[in-house]
């Protein structure tokens, strides 16, 4: 299929792989000079634009794809896509309605990264639903990468974000039920679902990514996970590809997971191989107790190839490519 598309693309444009490669190699001068017809041929070949995200978030990927189809860039796409889940009160691990920490406070972590390698992040943010948009403001309107806690909240308010109570009745009820025993034990794929990590490639072949979460339910007050840490919950290198992570953030941080996946792709691994190797780094540690926790990665490379892999069953990614928005079950390590 891809080969047929390539032949069509090459004959259409009178160009070969050379143009395909240079259009997707982040050489701005080349991609600026490319004709619309050449860009279209390369996009057809690689199935661009495309969006991938952790878990089952078709509404979010549809929103991001609508941005891309309208000619928007990948950065706008991932921000808009993530906002859908942040506003969705039913998703109890992102934005409004997120499950709180053990003291009943909903605290959000988010980050965003663009084609230039610029990035912004917020950690331990309270009372602001759209953490991903605050992260983008940190990137664009400050000389910093990361703002935390009260400072992040005050910054958001100064930028026009409205403070609100993020603890919904449903999440409050769940927390009150938890408090009866108050045992903290991350539960594979039940408690730990729905952090949204999203990657997009736009019509120019440029990549951006974002990640947003309320973190682990009933965590210790002040706990920050992998999701807002550039290189752990998210990493994008516009010459190579991008990766996002979900699951037990501590284990992702310890292996700098998303950066690792992108570096493995730089060395020639496919996104699938890179995700598998990064999971291998976690499960093959001599003291790994991987049976008790989940980690999942989703990755994409510059050619529109995607991959996902997790430690345990039931992880999935949502992929919108070539007109189809589908949930794909991830392969996984622990088949015992």
> Would you count residue 227 as binding ligand SD4 (CB under 6 A)?
yes
**Interactions with ligand SD4, residue window 276-335 (CB under 6 A):** none
- Residue from 194, 202, 206, 237 touching ligand SD4 (CB under 6 A): that is 194
Catalytic residue among 13, 195, 213, 318: 195
Binding mask 154-193 for ligand SD4 (x = CB under 6 A): --------------------------------------xx
Q: What's the rounded Cα separation, in Å, for the pair 163 and 68?
A: 30
Smallest distance from ligand SD4 to CB 290, Å: 15
Binding residue for ligand SD4, selected from 132, 199, 216, 308, defined by CB under 6 A: 216
Nearer Cβ to ligand SD4 (257/271): 257
> The dihedral of CA 85, 86, 92, 93: what is its sign?
positive
What's the angle, vertex CA 66, arms to CA 63 and CA 70, rounded to 5? 150
Q: Which is nearer to ligand SD4, 238 or 246 (CB)?
A: 246
Nearer to ligand SD4, 43 or 93 (CB): 93
Q: Considering CB under 6 A, how many residues would be counted as binding ligand SD4? A: 15
Nearer to ligand SD4 by Cβ, of 38 and 246: the residue is 246
Q: How many CB atoms lie within 10 A of CB 102?
A: 16
Q: Which of 24, 61, 80, 93 binds ligand SD4 (CB under 6 A)?
A: 93
User: Is there binding between residue 38 and ligand SD4 (CB under 6 A)?
Assistant: no
Q: Which is nearer to ligand SD4, 289 or 324 (CB)?
A: 289
- Minimum separation from the CB atom of position 257 to ligand SD4 (A): 10
Of 134-142, 224-232, 256-264, 280-288, the segment contacting ligand SD4 by CB under 6 A is 224-232
Nearer to ligand SD4, 248 or 308 (CB): 248
CA 33 to CA 76: how far, in whole Å?
23
246 is catalytic: no
* Residue 209 binds ligand SD4 (CB under 6 A): no
**Contacting residues toward ligand SD4, per CB under 6 A:** 93, 192-195, 213, 215-216, 225-227, 246-249
Active site (catalytic) residues: 195
């Amino acid at each position: 299929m891809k080969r047929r598309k390539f032949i069509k693309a090459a004959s259409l444009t009178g160009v070969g792989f050379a143009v395909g490669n240079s259009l997707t190699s982040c050489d701005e001068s080349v991609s600026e000079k490319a004709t619309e017809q050449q860009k279209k041929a390369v996009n057809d070949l690689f199935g661009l634009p495309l969006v991938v995200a952790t878990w089952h978030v078709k509404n979010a990927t549809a929103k991001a794809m609508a941005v891309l189809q309208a000619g928007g860039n990948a950065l706008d796409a991932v921000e808009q896509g993530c906002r859908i889940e942040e506003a969705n009160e039913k998703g109890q691990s992102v934005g409004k309605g997120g499950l709180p920490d053990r003291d009943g406070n909903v605290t959000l972590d988010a980050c965003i990264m663009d084609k230039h390698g610029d990035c912004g992040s917020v950690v331990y943010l309270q009372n602001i639903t759209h953490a991903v948009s605050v992260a983008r403001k940190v990137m664009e309107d400050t000389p910093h990468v990361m703002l935390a806690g009260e400072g992040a909240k005050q910054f958001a308010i100064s930028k026009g974000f409205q403070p609100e109570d993020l603890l919904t009745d449903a999440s409050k009820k769940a927390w009150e039920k938890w408090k009866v025993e108050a045992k903290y034990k991350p539960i594979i794929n039940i408690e730990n679902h729905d952090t949204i990590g999203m990657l997009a490639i736009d019509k120019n072949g440029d990549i951006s990514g974002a990640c947003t979460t309320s973190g682990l339910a009933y965590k210790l007050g002040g706990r920050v996970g992998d999701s807002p840490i550039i290189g752990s919950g998210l990493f994008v290198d516009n010459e190579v590809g991008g990766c996002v992570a979900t699951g037990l953030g501590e284990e992702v941080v310890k292996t700098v997971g998303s950066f690792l996946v992108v570096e493995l792709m730089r060395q020639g691994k496919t996104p699938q191989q890179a995700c598998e190797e990064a999971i291998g780094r976690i499960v093959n540690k001599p003291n790994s107790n991987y049976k008790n926790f989940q980690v999942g990665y989703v990755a994409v490379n510059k050619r529109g190839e995607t991959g996902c892999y997790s430690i345990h069953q039931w992880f999935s990614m949502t992929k919108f490519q070539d007109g189809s928005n589908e949930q794909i079950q991830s392969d996984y390590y622990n088949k015992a």
